[in-house]
Amino acid sequence: MDTYHSYRRGWYFEEFQVGQQIESVGRTITESDIVSFAGLSGDYNQIHTDAEYSKSSFYGQRVVHGLLILSIASGLAMRTGILEGTALAFREINHWKFLKPVFIGDTIRVVLNVIETKAISRLGGGSIEIEAVVKNQRDEVTMKGVWTVIVAAEEK
Protein backbone atom coordinates (compact mmCIF):
# COMPACT_ATOMS: atom_id res chain seq x y z
CA MET A 1 0.00 0.00 0.00
CA ASP A 2 1.36 3.39 -0.98
CA THR A 3 1.16 6.30 1.45
CA TYR A 4 1.26 9.77 -0.07
CA HIS A 5 2.46 12.78 1.87
CA SER A 6 3.20 15.28 -0.89
CA TYR A 7 0.55 15.71 -3.47
CA ARG A 8 -0.11 17.10 -6.87
CA ARG A 9 -3.26 19.20 -6.63
CA GLY A 10 -6.59 17.88 -7.87
CA TRP A 11 -6.50 14.19 -8.69
CA TYR A 12 -8.90 13.05 -11.38
CA PHE A 13 -11.08 9.97 -11.03
CA GLU A 14 -8.69 7.85 -13.09
CA GLU A 15 -5.81 8.59 -10.72
CA PHE A 16 -7.46 7.04 -7.68
CA GLN A 17 -6.58 3.39 -7.10
CA VAL A 18 -7.87 0.97 -4.49
CA GLY A 19 -5.23 0.63 -1.78
CA GLN A 20 -3.87 4.18 -1.98
CA GLN A 21 -3.40 5.84 1.40
CA ILE A 22 -3.18 9.60 1.83
CA GLU A 23 -2.39 11.26 5.17
CA SER A 24 -3.14 14.85 6.07
CA VAL A 25 -1.16 17.26 8.15
CA GLY A 26 -2.18 17.67 11.78
CA ARG A 27 -4.34 20.34 13.38
CA THR A 28 -4.49 21.20 17.07
CA ILE A 29 -7.98 21.73 18.48
CA THR A 30 -8.49 24.96 20.44
CA GLU A 31 -11.07 26.38 22.82
CA SER A 32 -11.88 28.90 20.10
CA ASP A 33 -12.85 26.01 17.81
CA ILE A 34 -15.40 24.80 20.37
CA VAL A 35 -16.85 28.26 20.97
CA SER A 36 -17.13 28.97 17.23
CA PHE A 37 -18.75 25.62 16.51
CA ALA A 38 -21.22 26.00 19.38
CA GLY A 39 -22.22 29.36 17.94
CA LEU A 40 -22.61 28.01 14.41
CA SER A 41 -24.44 24.82 15.37
CA GLY A 42 -26.37 26.01 18.41
CA ASP A 43 -24.99 23.04 20.39
CA TYR A 44 -24.06 24.58 23.73
CA ASN A 45 -24.16 21.26 25.61
CA GLN A 46 -22.33 21.77 28.91
CA ILE A 47 -20.02 18.81 28.24
CA HIS A 48 -18.50 20.99 25.48
CA THR A 49 -18.81 24.51 26.87
CA ASP A 50 -18.74 24.45 30.68
CA ALA A 51 -15.33 23.63 32.18
CA GLU A 52 -16.63 23.41 35.77
CA TYR A 53 -19.57 21.17 34.86
CA SER A 54 -17.27 18.94 32.77
CA LYS A 55 -14.89 18.36 35.70
CA SER A 56 -17.54 16.11 37.23
CA SER A 57 -18.29 14.30 33.96
CA PHE A 58 -17.07 10.87 32.91
CA TYR A 59 -14.05 12.41 31.13
CA GLY A 60 -13.23 15.02 33.77
CA GLN A 61 -12.88 17.79 31.20
CA ARG A 62 -14.62 19.33 28.19
CA VAL A 63 -15.03 17.09 25.15
CA VAL A 64 -14.87 18.54 21.65
CA HIS A 65 -18.08 18.19 19.62
CA GLY A 66 -17.86 15.01 17.54
CA LEU A 67 -19.41 16.76 14.56
CA LEU A 68 -16.78 19.49 14.84
CA ILE A 69 -14.04 16.88 14.55
CA LEU A 70 -15.82 15.32 11.56
CA SER A 71 -15.94 18.78 9.95
CA ILE A 72 -12.27 19.45 10.67
CA ALA A 73 -11.39 16.01 9.25
CA SER A 74 -13.18 16.98 6.04
CA GLY A 75 -11.13 20.16 5.91
CA LEU A 76 -7.91 18.25 6.55
CA ALA A 77 -8.80 15.91 3.68
CA MET A 78 -9.21 18.93 1.42
CA ARG A 79 -5.84 20.29 2.61
CA THR A 80 -4.15 17.24 1.09
CA GLY A 81 -5.03 18.82 -2.25
CA ILE A 82 -6.15 15.58 -3.90
CA LEU A 83 -9.75 16.80 -4.32
CA GLU A 84 -8.95 20.44 -5.07
CA GLY A 85 -10.82 21.45 -8.19
CA THR A 86 -11.85 17.87 -9.04
CA ALA A 87 -14.40 17.02 -6.34
CA LEU A 88 -17.88 17.40 -7.82
CA ALA A 89 -19.88 16.37 -4.74
CA PHE A 90 -19.53 14.93 -1.26
CA ARG A 91 -22.19 12.25 -1.63
CA GLU A 92 -22.35 10.09 1.54
CA ILE A 93 -21.00 9.35 4.98
CA ASN A 94 -21.47 5.71 5.98
CA HIS A 95 -20.60 3.54 8.97
CA TRP A 96 -19.36 6.54 10.97
CA LYS A 97 -18.19 5.64 14.48
CA PHE A 98 -17.16 8.01 17.26
CA LEU A 99 -14.62 5.86 19.12
CA LYS A 100 -12.62 8.10 21.47
CA PRO A 101 -13.13 11.64 22.71
CA VAL A 102 -11.07 14.55 21.46
CA PHE A 103 -10.06 17.21 23.98
CA ILE A 104 -8.88 20.80 23.72
CA GLY A 105 -5.17 20.67 22.88
CA ASP A 106 -5.34 17.36 20.98
CA THR A 107 -3.84 17.33 17.51
CA ILE A 108 -5.75 15.33 14.94
CA ARG A 109 -5.00 14.18 11.40
CA VAL A 110 -6.95 12.13 8.91
CA VAL A 111 -5.74 9.04 7.07
CA LEU A 112 -7.63 8.41 3.84
CA ASN A 113 -7.71 4.91 2.36
CA VAL A 114 -9.19 4.45 -1.13
CA ILE A 115 -11.42 1.35 -0.89
CA GLU A 116 -13.51 1.50 -4.07
CA THR A 117 -13.76 3.36 -7.36
CA LYS A 118 -16.70 3.25 -9.74
CA ALA A 119 -16.93 5.13 -13.04
CA ILE A 120 -20.14 7.10 -13.58
CA SER A 121 -19.79 8.48 -17.09
CA ARG A 122 -23.11 10.39 -17.02
CA LEU A 123 -21.64 12.52 -14.21
CA GLY A 124 -18.38 13.11 -16.02
CA GLY A 125 -16.31 11.18 -13.52
CA GLY A 126 -16.80 8.58 -10.89
CA SER A 127 -17.49 7.65 -7.31
CA ILE A 128 -14.61 7.18 -4.88
CA GLU A 129 -15.19 5.42 -1.56
CA ILE A 130 -12.65 6.52 1.01
CA GLU A 131 -12.24 5.12 4.49
CA ALA A 132 -11.48 8.17 6.63
CA VAL A 133 -9.67 7.46 9.90
CA VAL A 134 -9.20 10.35 12.33
CA LYS A 135 -6.22 9.89 14.66
CA ASN A 136 -4.92 11.93 17.57
CA GLN A 137 -1.33 12.77 18.53
CA ARG A 138 -0.99 9.38 20.27
CA ASP A 139 -1.99 7.60 17.01
CA GLU A 140 -5.29 6.53 18.59
CA VAL A 141 -8.31 6.30 16.29
CA THR A 142 -10.89 8.81 17.52
CA MET A 143 -13.44 8.26 14.74
CA LYS A 144 -13.73 6.59 11.38
CA GLY A 145 -16.11 5.80 8.58
CA VAL A 146 -16.53 5.78 4.83
CA TRP A 147 -16.98 8.86 2.66
CA THR A 148 -18.24 8.72 -0.91
CA VAL A 149 -17.03 11.54 -3.14
CA ILE A 150 -17.88 12.17 -6.80
CA VAL A 151 -14.70 13.16 -8.64
CA ALA A 152 -14.33 14.57 -12.15
CA ALA A 153 -12.80 12.54 -14.95
CA GLU A 154 -9.73 13.84 -16.71
CA GLU A 155 -10.65 15.81 -19.79
CA LYS A 156 -9.42 14.10 -22.93
> Which residue ranges make up each domain of the chain?
3-152
**Considering the entire predicted model, what is its pTM?**
0.91
pLDDT at 6 over 60: no
Residue 111's CB is within 10 A of a number of other CB atoms, namely 21
Q: Given pLDDT bands bounded at 50, 70 and 90, which one contains residue 19? A: very high
**CATH superfamily of domain region 3-152:** Hotdog Thioesterase (3.10.129.10)
Query: Quick one: what percent of the chain has pLDDT higher than 90?
Result: 92
φ, ψ of residue 35 to 5 degrees: the values are -65, -45
pLDDT value for 71: 97
Helix (H/G/I), strand (E/B), else coil: 88: strand
Averaged pLDDT of the chain: 94
Q: What are the pLDDT digits (tens) for 105-117?
A: 999 999 999 999 9
The confidence band for 94, taking pLDDT boundaries of 50, 70 and 90, is very high
